Amino acid sequence: MTSDAWNVSLNIIASVITGSTVWLVTKAMAWRRLRRMQVFFGLTGGEECLVVVPRHASSNRGNSVHRNDAAALLELTAVLGDCRARPEVVFHDDVYQGAVDKAEFCIGGPEANQRTAAHLRSAVPNLRHARFEDDPEGVTISVGEHHFPAEMGRSEYVALAKIQREGQDKPAFLICGQTSVSNRAAARYLQRNYARLMRTYGLRKRFCLILRVVESNTYGPAVVELAHDATQEAFSSS
């Protein structure tokens, strides 16, 4: 074999080795990202997760769901698909399962979703959501000494919380908004920002954020900002 042919052969072999190494590293990194995401959401491949939808607060039909809450469910489908999970979508008063049997996404405030109300009482006792009868203008969300009344269509709030009762239990994600559009905004925020949440809070730790939806009459659920990190206050019963 001539020197030139030998050099060409070496270059081909080196290229194959380099390409294979890059492919293997890329696959390993992608698998690690997927695994971390699955742990954060409690969604291992092929498992079912629970998605609990609320009733339409202003509808006369008991099983009606607001279109924004249905859209919130769709916002979560990218997460569920990426984690290779199978969603079990149920109405809020049709759930009789334990709180840690499956990973869970619970949409809607406590008046529209009785499972949200149960989660708040048992796991997030210092996060309070005013009843419409008591606070029809603002439906104020309170945590600790902080209070977040709504200005409908201008400034609306939603609590996004991850409940992790024990280290190995399945987590529940609560999307507890003052309006259906704020529920949708929080679902979108979770779908787009889960990587940052993983870096900030780790894979198995709980958190509670109060998000502000800006000018929803004009922007819909598109403009969302962090109003307060309530993680330190929300889970205390004091």
186: which 2 tokens? 């929080």
**Highest-scoring range by mean pLDDT, 98-102, 134-138, 232-236:** 232-236
* Host domain of residue 78: 42-234
Half-sphere exposure (CA, 13 Å, Cβ side) for 133? 2
pLDDT of residue 68: 85
Half-sphere exposure (CA, 13 Å, Cβ side) for 155? 11
Residue 140 lies in a domain: yes
User: How many domains would you assign to the chain?
Assistant: 1
* 3-class DSSP string for 171-198: CEEEEEECCHHHHHHHHHHHHHHHHHHH
pLDDT in tens, 39-81: 999 987 768 888 898 887 665 666 677 788 888 888 888 888 8
Residue 68 lies in a domain: yes
3-state SS class at 89: strand
pLDDT of residue 212: 97
pLDDT in tens, 78-127: 888 888 888 888 876 776 666 667 899 999 999 888 899 999 999 999 99
Residue 17 lies in a domain: no
Residue 5 lies in a domain: no
Residue 174 lies in a domain: yes
Instruction: Report the Cα–Cα distance between both ends of the chain, in Å, rounded.
Output: 82
Q: What is the CATH number of the domain that holds 67?
A: 3.30.379.10
Max Cα-Cα span within the chain: 90
3-state SS class at 66: coil
Residue 32 lies in a domain: no
User: In this structure, is the dihedral angle defined by the CA atoms of residues 228, 229, 232 and 233, taken in order, positive or negative?
Assistant: positive
pLDDT in tens, 17-44: 555 544 444 444 555 678 888 999 998 7
pLDDT of residue 67: 85
Q: Which residues contact 138 (CB under 8 A, 6 or more apart)?
A: 130, 149, 150, 151, 178
